[in-house]
Chain A
Amino acid sequence: MIPAIGLSLGIIIGLLLQPAVPVWLQPYLPIAVIAALDAVFGAVRAILDGIFDDKVFVISFLSNVIVAAFIVFLGDKLGVGAQLSTGVVVVLGVRIFSNVAAIRRHLFDA
């Protein structure tokens, strides 16, 4: 419950304050969001599995975002930014889907 409240609080603060994101940071936003989603779904699955750990969650979130951003940055420098972004999205997307499948098994036994 508390994590959900924190999440919505963050979204509301972000939408209300509307901080200006520097232009150089904007290409990393979509990737960062997907990395964060992956961490969140992983955490939900861990909660349902009964093995949740807040430190692991924070570390996985931070490392996800940083590694994803770094890969995109590297790709931009190498001239294959779009392809590497696609790769990151595919990998994280597969993880999100299988996590959601596990969550579904927990919640609905289906």
Chain B
Amino acid sequence: MTLLTSMLQRPLDPSYAAAADRREAQGRPRSTSLRSPLLVIATVLIGLLVGVASYTLTTANKPRSQARAELIEQIQDRRSQVDAMTSQATTLQGQLTDLETEQLGNDALANRTRELATAVGAVPLHGPGFTLTLDDAPASGSDDAAEGGQADEGRVLAKDLQYVTNALWESGAEAVSINGKRLTATSAIRFAGSALVVDYRPLTRPYVVTALGDPKRFPAAFADGAGGTYLSTLRSTFGIRVDTEVSDDLTVPAAVGLTTRYARSGDTGDATPSPGTTPSPTAS
């Protein structure tokens, strides 16, 4: 306690008092003048120190925050670009579908095209079905939890969405979309860092899965099947919020970017399967 007591009770340098006593003994005033050049130099030095420190310490973080702001700006730019192009692609696809139906005079062919377009997800669909809303557990979702790693349990993972979607297909879903992104045969649900990515587009919470299917059978089949079990486990074990809402008329948008870049259909000539033989899946 001596240390604390002396620190608290006598914080002033004893040398000030000693110097004052010495001067008094010599017959001079106890305090020296405030105009001594030494004092001026010292104060200028201290001011310089404070000024330099404040400048240096505030600018030390500047390049980093600047780069961060630039990156955020870039992300927002690109995101709005993607949004614009997505809507453009949707419009063009709609036009394409219209033109196709116009040109295909043959009813059988037109019907076939329409069926295929419906099946692969080239046209928006609507019908009965239900929406599943998944969200992170209430405690999680903050940045601290994301960086803590250990507290990450309450977050919705790509695995969860994959499982739920597969269970939806399994129990008879005819069309599925996540946060307004139609799932097709080439869709991928992945993790990129801590963000959920569907078809290379990051999603934001909450995750709304819309599935269309037979109103009598489909919701019950899902709830009774593996998907329902999985969701109730998520809810009870990790506190993930799950809401199910059955509806008579839901809309699922058309998929964007249904083109293939390298794979071609067999009719173009140099492809291997000869006309007449049906191409069989070799590896699956």
Contact = CB atoms under 8 A, between A and B. Distances in A.
Interface stretch (B36-44, B113-121, B152-160): B36-44
Nearest to B51: A14
Interface in A53-75: 53-61, 65
B11 interface: yes
Nearest to B20: A51
Contact of A13 (B23, B35, B42, B48): B48
A56 B49 contact: no
Contacts, number: 150
Contacts of B42: 6, 54, 57-58, 61
Given A60-B13, A98-B8, A53 B48 contact: no
Contacts of A26: 56-57, 60
Categorize the interface residue count of chain A: 35 or more
B19 A98 contact: no
B5 to A, nearest CB: 12
Given A15-B51, A29-B53, A52-B31, A94 B46 contact: no
Interface string A1-39: 111101111111111001101000010011011001001
Contacts of B53: 29-30, 32-33
| Chief secondary structure at chain B's binding surface | helix
B45 interface: yes
B47 interface: yes
A84 B32 CA distance: 35
A95 B7 contact: yes
A30 B94 CA distance: 63
B188 interface: no
Given A2-B40, A10-B47, A52-B32, 14 more contacts: A4-B43, A7-B50, A10-B45, A13-B44, A15-B55, A33-B53, A42-B13, A53-B31, A56-B16, A60-B13, A60-B15, A61-B42, A94-B11, A95-B7
The 6 closest A-B pairs by CB, nearest first: A10-B47, A14-B51, A6-B43, A51-B20, A98-B11, A11-B51
23 contacts: A2-B34, A3-B34, A6-B47, A10-B44, A10-B48, A10-B50, A12-B47, A12-B51, A18-B52, A19-B52, A46-B31, A50-B20, A51-B31, A54-B42, A57-B39, A58-B38, A59-B15, A60-B13, A61-B45, A94-B7, A94-B11, A98-B8, A102-B12
